[in-house]
Chain A
Amino acid sequence: MFADAFLNTEILWEAWPILLDGLGRTVLLSLMVVPLGLLGGLALALLSLTQRRTLRWFVAAWVDVFRALPPLVLLVVVYAGLPFAGLEVSAWQAVAIGFFLNTGAYYGEILRAGIASVPKGQMEAARSLGLSRPHALAFVVLPQAVRNVLPDLVSNTLEVVKLTSLAAVVALPELLFQARQAQSVTYNATPIVAAAVIYFLLLWPFVRMLSRLENRQLAARR
């Protein structure tokens, strides 16, 4: 029976506490990796403003390399590779490092484009009004930069939250991992269906918001 295998209320009732536990960890993971990635991205974007050509070149290469490597590959290399270098990393640490490298590069590219989209005159005007360069960046350029790339920032954040499901591969008991556990114990697909529904309900509002933001941006560009 279809309903028995995929929407079994009895099994859902049984698996519910584990799923909730996993959901809590997914939220916690997101709260860890999003700020981490934003911080790394901001650092990369600011570094790319430097006058030194070698440093700028290095930052560009860094961003491209970590955008080219699939996040799961980074995660596995960190988790399974570092112990061979004598560095034992926990699943949480591996996720933190892998995501910092991957999402930092993405946020960095977005913020760099945002800063580039702010007219030069803004910085010059702020400087001529007596603001120091860091102040002008923080209070004049960055706020406009963020506004210009807001849809991309929201979209990337949504992708990062979805990517936390990769942590299941390194046995971090977040939502997908717990659902898999429950599925293999009960030999019933209901827990995985439930996990998919939970992800959907959690992220749907953001998807809707994003659609609206993107459409507004496209309309403004015409």
Chain B
Amino acid sequence: MSFADSFLNLRVAVEHGPKIIEGMGVTVVLAACVIATGLAAGLGLAVLRAMGVRLLNWLIVFVVDLFRAVPPLVVIVLLYFGLPAAGMALDGFVAAWLALSLVLMAFAEEIFWAGITTLPKGQWEASRALGLRFVPTFFLVVLPQAVRIVIPPLVNRTIAITKGTALASVVAVPEILGAAQAGVSFSFNPTPLTLAALAYLALFLPVVVVGRWVERRWHVR
């Protein structure tokens, strides 16, 4: 059997290709869900932290540190295999969504917060001097500038965590990798894995290139 027969077998590709393409759909939906909830939650925590309630801030820092230190796969496994013991069975998709959102939330909060704190104090003082109260100052003056500063690290971190959607295959979500592994065991041929690698490249190679472009563009100020 030649190399091409086993790794790019046309018959197997035709048979399992559609499943991989369906898997791409699942990967994209999961990624979109994670990005939406993760970034929103991260921004929310950063805003809460800016209110400066000390006890609350300790709690936020702890939660952020927790999800930066524990591997995402451990969080997914805990939610999926652990929660049923408490009588709460989560669907694999929901477990992966929740886990990756928590991880992205933690990293995003840290990044947004860094942007807020590094903004020059004069911005606060000038807005207050113009008669704006804390809330409008924060939301109309500080936050828009802070978000602009942190776009490059935020984009890169979001890309990295979005690639974690492949971890969902561990909890039986039929995204690209999961679909490919099923294909391999059905056909006893590695072609589905080759297709999966190509599918990931099709999705993420443009994203990686855009990420690099964003970093270069924003760096020069």
A residues with a Cβ closer than 8 A to B are: 2, 5-6, 64-65, 67-73, 76-77, 80-81, 84-85, 158-159, 162-166, 168-169, 176, 179-180, 183-184, 187-189, 192-193, 195-196, 199-200, 202-204, 206-208, 211, 214-215, 218-219, 221-222
Contacts and interface: CB of A to CB of B under 8 A. Distances in A.
Given A176-B73, A187-B85, A80 B184 contact: yes
A84 B167 CA distance: 23
Contacts, number: 143
B70 A72 contact: no
A196 B165 CA distance: 20
Given A72-B167, A158-B68, 11 more contacts: A6-B85, A68-B200, A72-B166, A73-B177, A85-B3, A163-B71, A166-B73, A188-B85, A189-B83, A192-B78, A219-B118
Given A169-B170, A180-B77, A200 B82 contact: no
B74 A73 contact: no
Nearest to A187: B85
A162 B190 contact: no
Contact of A84 (B78, B165, B190): B190
B204 interface: yes
Interface string B96-124: 00000000000000100010011010000
A65 B75 CA distance: 27
A84 B8 CA distance: 12
A69 B197 contact: yes
Contact of B74 (A84, A165, A188, A214): A165
B7 A176 contact: no
A65 B204 CA distance: 9
Contact of B196 (A2, A73, A183): A73
A214 B201 CA distance: 30
A188 B29 CA distance: 32
B15 interface: no
A184 B82 CA distance: 10
Interface stretch (B48-56, B125-133, B136-144, B205-213): B205-213
A77 B71 contact: no
B8 to A, nearest CB: 12
The binding surface of chain B is classed by DSSP as helix
A168 B73 contact: yes
Contacts of A163: 71
B147 to A, nearest CB: 14
B69 A195 contact: no
B181 interface: yes
A189 B81 contact: yes
B86 interface: yes
Contacts of A81: 7, 190, 193-194
Contact of A5 (B85, B165, B190, B196): B85
A77 B73 contact: no
A64 B209 contact: yes
B66 interface: yes
B148 to A, nearest CB: 13
A111 B116 CA distance: 28
A218 B177 CA distance: 37
